[in-house]
Amino acid sequence: MTTASLSEGLSVQRNVIGALILREIHTRYGRDNVGYLWLFLEPAILAAMVALIHIGGNSHLTGSIGPIPFALLGYTTFIMFRSIFTRADAVLETNAPLLYHRQISIFDMVLARALLELASTIVVLAVLFGIATLAELAHPPERPLALLAGIGLLWWWSLALSFLICAATNENRLVTKFVHPISYILLPISGAFYMLDWLPRVYRDIMAWFPMTQMFELIRYGMFAAARDDYVQPIYIIFWCMLLTFLGLLSIRAVRRHVHIG
Amino acid sequence: MDSRTPPYLLQQADIAPRAGWLRRHRWFIAIVLLPTTLVALWLFLFAADQYESEAHFLVRKADQGQSGSSLPGFAQMVGLGGALGGGGEAVSVADYLDSHDAVMAADERLDLTALFRRPEADFISRLWYADPDAEDLVRHFRGKVDVAYDIDTGITELAVRAYRPQDAEALTTTLLQLGEERVNALNERGQEALLESARRQLDEAEADLGRVSGALAAYRRSERQVDPTLSGRAGTELETTLRGELAQLRSQDAAMSGIAADSPQRVALRRRIAAVEAEVAAAEARISGGRGLTAAIGNFEDLRMRQEFAAKRYELAAGMYEKARSDALRQNLFVVRIVEPNLPERALYPRRITIVLTVLAGLALAYGIGWLLLAGMREHAA
């Protein structure tokens, strides 16, 4: 009985998540197509700005890492984190009526959104880096598997955090006020726009304990030949992600019965 | 059926309490407890002790205070710092010690295969092949030897793990020696290259100077004079004097026009005039005639200038050579040992408790997540 109900449950859940993703696409990008465009334009504009700053001197960062691909990579991946993280508080607000259907769980909603963000990030990254490569501003990823692993870990981390935020905002609306400030604080300290190598040793040793810096190091290691993975400790990152996932799953499970539907 | 009740609570509870506990927690036991126990058993009963020996050193240039990069971080972050570098010499030893080159050199001295396959080594952590190819040996070496270079301080930390304390110390010492030898080799090569090029320039300048001086000497020999300019000036002076004398004689002659032309006085005077005229003509011819002085002075000046130039070049090259020699002595790289290799007394590796706790916590978390996910999945089916 258990395995049968499990496989049945799995297939239902897969359908639910698929449907939620479609719904999300419609509500988000359906009305005006500029929504799609923004996904590409935002990092592209940043890259253009960085290019402008560096137009004078041909100063390269470290070795073969150009400033433009560096900023592009950091920004697109950070955007993924930011949109999963900051939109988590609105998940229940916008989707609560769906919980009338008992096949749909909070987990499904959060996961669907996160999957959509992951997909769009990878597409944006591929398109922008494709263009940059054609323009000879960037090179194709040096270690694609490490790049994917880095993005995957960052996504996992974002997902786990968004479970927690989703549950917390439902319990106390005040949390919403903190989500955006936190995401802004994380922008400079996450490691999306600097390498740990650039920091003086004192700060580097502290920052290296923050899992996000390691994830971005891993992402850069995957993209650039000259980047190094000296500070990346996969087991450490995975531990953080597992711990947060566990707590997050527990919390959304606890929260479900408190959700006010409609 | 209440979907919120964990599934194990739904099992029938009329089994004997102990067997019931086992049955109810069979997944937890299978996924978390059993693997952890196996890992712990392996680590505590079978895994071989590994002793760690450590050494720290600094690679310094004699004429520099510090060989680490002096400008870490922020300037580069803004993009002003240029390439991160400068510490090339400092990082060279760390780079070398991590390379196949060092592995092969160490293998020649210590027989690494035997060292990594001591009888007391367990079969998971030891080198797997009795006759490893170079790649396997290098990979195993990198697993046992950590070389960490710190950009800020320039200190390289070398840590070696082996199955016997003596082995760990021997390998660390050997690696340090290899590093020092490599630095010496780099020095020699650098000095040789530097001195070689300076020496070659000096030789060229010397040969050039010799050639020009030889040409000058040959010229002097063929012209039979030391310095045509001087002889030219002397010739001109002589001509001027002679012309003065001639003019005087002619005016004397004119003044004596009253006296009979064939008087012995006038005859003598006319002879003198003729002689002086011949002298003047000869002097004129010497100064400006065919292969005369004008051409000689031109050639001579040319040669002398070339000689001067060659002499200056030689002087410069000699100075550079001296400087290169002193630089070569001064720019020596050398390894400064900060922490000498130690003979470990207690085995710190493998870190048994840490590993067991990590495995336990990781599996427990995985179990919890899995359980929550599966429970969520089941809800959909209900």
Three-state SS sequence of A158-221: HHHHHHHHHHHHHHCCHHHHHHHHHHHHHHHHCCCCCCHHHCCHHHHHHHCCCHHHHHHHHHHH
- Write out the two tokens for B234: 């002397």
Find the CB nearest B362 among A57, A67, A239. Answer: A239
Split at pLDDT 50, 70, 90, the class of B114 is: confident
Q: Which domains does chain B have, with CATH numbers?
A: 1-46+351-382 (no CATH), 198-330 (1.10.287)
CA pair distance A244, A248, nearest whole angstrom: 6
Q: How far apart are the first and last CA of chain A?
A: 35
Could you give the 3-state DSSP secondary structure of residue A242? Answer: helix
Q: For B67-106, what is each residue's pLDDT tens digit? A: 344 444 444 444 433 334 445 777 888 889 889 999 999 9
**Quick check: B12 pLDDT over 60?**
no
Q: Are A249 and B381 within 8 A, CB to CB?
A: no
Averaged pLDDT score across all residues of chain A: 85
Number of A/B CB contacts below 8 angstroms equals 92
For residue B197, give how far its alpha carbon lies from the nearest alpha carbon of chain A (Å): 30
For residue B14, give how far its alpha carbon lies from the nearest alpha carbon of chain A (Å): 20
Could you give the 3-state DSSP secondary structure of residue B166? Answer: helix
The chain A residues in contact with chain B (CB within 8 A) are 2, 5-6, 8-10, 12-13, 16, 53-54, 57, 59-63, 67, 102-103, 105, 107, 194, 197-201, 235, 238-239, 242-243, 245-246, 249-250, 253
Which chain B residues have a beta carbon less than 8 Å from that of A248?
none
Tell me which of A50, A70, A107, A109 to substitute to probe the interface with B (most B C-beta atoms closer than 10 Å): A107
Residue A222 is predicted with a pLDDT of 92
Residue B65 is predicted with a pLDDT of 45
Give start and end residues of each alpha helix (H) in chain A: 2-29, 34-53, 67-95, 106-134, 144-171, 174-189, 201-207, 211-223, 234-255
Cα–Cα separations (whole angstroms), residue B7 to A14, A102, B381: 22, 19, 14
Which chain A residues have a beta carbon less than 8 Å from that of B79?
53-54, 57, 59, 61, 67
Split at pLDDT 50, 70, 90, the class of A23 is: confident
CA pair distance B241, B247, nearest whole angstrom: 10
Which chain B residues have a beta carbon less than 8 Å from that of A54?
79
Could you give the 3-state DSSP secondary structure of residue A118? Answer: helix
**Quick check: B214 pLDDT over 80?**
yes
Residue B363 is predicted with a pLDDT of 94
CA pair distance B182, B335, nearest whole angstrom: 10
Q: How many CB atoms lie within 10 A of CB B315?
A: 12
- Percent helix, percent strand, percent coil in chain B, to nearest 5: 65, 10, 25
Lowest-confidence pick of A123-137, B16-30, B39-53: B16-30
Domain parsing of chain A, residue ranges? 2-258
Residue B34 is predicted with a pLDDT of 94
For chain A, the C-alpha Rg in angstroms (whole number) is 20
CA pair distance A215, A191, nearest whole angstrom: 8
**Quick check: B138 pLDDT over 50?**
yes
**Quick check: B162 pLDDT over 80?**
yes
Q: Please give the residue of chain A at the shortest CA–CA distance from B378.
A: A9
Residue B220 is predicted with a pLDDT of 80
**Quick check: B258 pLDDT over 60?**
yes
Q: Which of B272, B42, B59, B16 is nearest to B153 (CA)?
A: B59
Cα–Cα separations (whole angstroms), residue B274 to B257, B262, B349: 17, 16, 119
Q: Are A249 and B365 within 8 A, CB to CB?
A: no
- Write out the two tokens for A175: 């949390």
Q: Please give the residue of chain B at the shortest CA–CA distance from A205.
A: B150
Which chain A residues have a beta carbon less than 8 Å from that of B379?
9, 102, 105
Find the CB nearest A105 among B72, B358, B376. Answer: B376
**Quick check: A208 pLDDT over 50?**
yes
Percentage of chain B beyond pLDDT 90 is 21
For residue A34, give how far its alpha carbon lies from the nearest alpha carbon of chain B (Å): 33
Beta bridge partners of B60: B334
Average pLDDT of the segment spanning A144-171: 93
Report yes or no: A110 and A156 within 8 Å, Cβ to Cβ. Answer: no
Report yes or no: B117 and B126 within 8 Å, Cβ to Cβ. Answer: yes
B101-105 LR contacts (CB < 8 Å, sep 24+): B102/B175, B102/B178, B102/B179, B102/B182, B103/B134, B103/B137, B103/B138, B103/B141, B104/B134, B105/B178
Percentage of chain B beyond pLDDT 70 is 85
**Quick check: A256 pLDDT over 90?**
no
Which chain B residues have a beta carbon less than 8 Å from that of A103?
380
Beta bridge partners of B149: B156
Lowest-confidence pick of A122-131, A192-201, B133-142: A192-201
Q: Which residues contact B145 (CB under 8 A, 6 or more apart)?
A: B97, B98, B158, B159, B160, B161, B171, B175
Residue B8 is predicted with a pLDDT of 56
Split at pLDDT 50, 70, 90, the class of A2 is: low
Angle between helices A67-95 and A106-134 (to 10 degrees): 160
Angle between helices A67-95 and A174-189 (to 10 degrees): 170
**Quick check: B274 pLDDT over 50?**
yes
CA pair distance B111, B92, nearest whole angstrom: 24
Percentage of chain A beyond pLDDT 90 is 31
**Quick check: B269 pLDDT over 90?**
no
Q: Which of A218, A208, A226, A230 is nearest to B149 (CA)?
A: A230
Report yes or no: A234 and A215 within 8 Å, Cβ to Cβ. Answer: no
Q: Are A200 and B73 within 8 A, CB to CB?
A: yes
Q: Which residues contact A3 (CB under 8 A, 6 or more apart)?
A: none
Residue A236 is predicted with a pLDDT of 94
For residue B43, give how far its alpha carbon lies from the nearest alpha carbon of chain A (Å): 19
Residue B82 is predicted with a pLDDT of 37
Residue A219 is predicted with a pLDDT of 94
The chain B residues in contact with chain A (CB within 8 A) are 7, 72-74, 76-77, 79-84, 150-153, 358, 361-362, 365-366, 368-369, 372-382
Q: How many CB atoms lie within 10 A of CB A172?
A: 8
Q: Are B376 and A107 within 8 A, CB to CB?
A: yes
Averaged pLDDT score across all residues of chain B: 81
Split at pLDDT 50, 70, 90, the class of A1 is: very low
Backbone conformation region of residue B86, classed left if phi is above 0, alpha if psi is from -120 to 50, else beta: left
For residue A31, give how far its alpha carbon lies from the nearest alpha carbon of chain B (Å): 31
Residue A57 is predicted with a pLDDT of 53
Residue B162: how many CA atoms within 13 Å on its side-chain side? Answer: 26
**Quick check: B322 pLDDT over 60?**
yes
Strand order in the sheet with B51-61: B145-149, B155-162, B51-61, B333-339
Q: Please give the residue of chain B at the shortest CA–CA distance from A199.
A: B73
Q: Please give the residue of chain B at the shortest CA–CA distance from A55.
A: B79
For residues B135 and B150, which has the higher predicted lDDT (pLDDT)? B135
For residue A159, give how far its alpha carbon lies from the nearest alpha carbon of chain B (Å): 13
Report yes or no: A224 and A248 within 8 Å, Cβ to Cβ. Answer: no
- Write out the two tokens for B129: 């092949």
CA pair distance B209, B205, nearest whole angstrom: 6
Q: Are A6 and B361 within 8 A, CB to CB?
A: no
Q: Are B381 and A6 within 8 A, CB to CB?
A: yes
Q: Which of B71, B15, B34, B328 is nearest to B195 (CA)?
A: B328
Q: Are B79 and A54 within 8 A, CB to CB?
A: yes
Find the CB nearest A63 among B83, B375, B382. Answer: B83
Which chain A residues have a beta carbon less than 8 Å from that of B80?
59
Which of A12-16, B126-130, B190-194 shows the highest mean pLDDT? A12-16
Here the ipTM equals 0.79
Report yes or no: B133 and B211 within 8 Å, Cβ to Cβ. Answer: no
Residue B193: how many CA atoms within 13 Å on its side-chain side? Answer: 5
Residue B66 is predicted with a pLDDT of 43
**Quick check: A56 pLDDT over 60?**
no
Q: Please give the residue of chain B at the shortest CA–CA distance from A108.
A: B376
For residue A27, give how far its alpha carbon lies from the nearest alpha carbon of chain B (Å): 24
For residue B119, give how far its alpha carbon lies from the nearest alpha carbon of chain A (Å): 31
Residue A149 is predicted with a pLDDT of 95
Q: Please give the residue of chain B at the shortest CA–CA distance from A59.
A: B82
Q: For A75-98, what is each residue's pLDDT tens digit? A: 889 989 988 998 888 888 888 888
Lowest-confidence pick of A137-141, A249-253, B349-353: A137-141
Split at pLDDT 50, 70, 90, the class of A194 is: confident
For residue A35, give how far its alpha carbon lies from the nearest alpha carbon of chain B (Å): 32
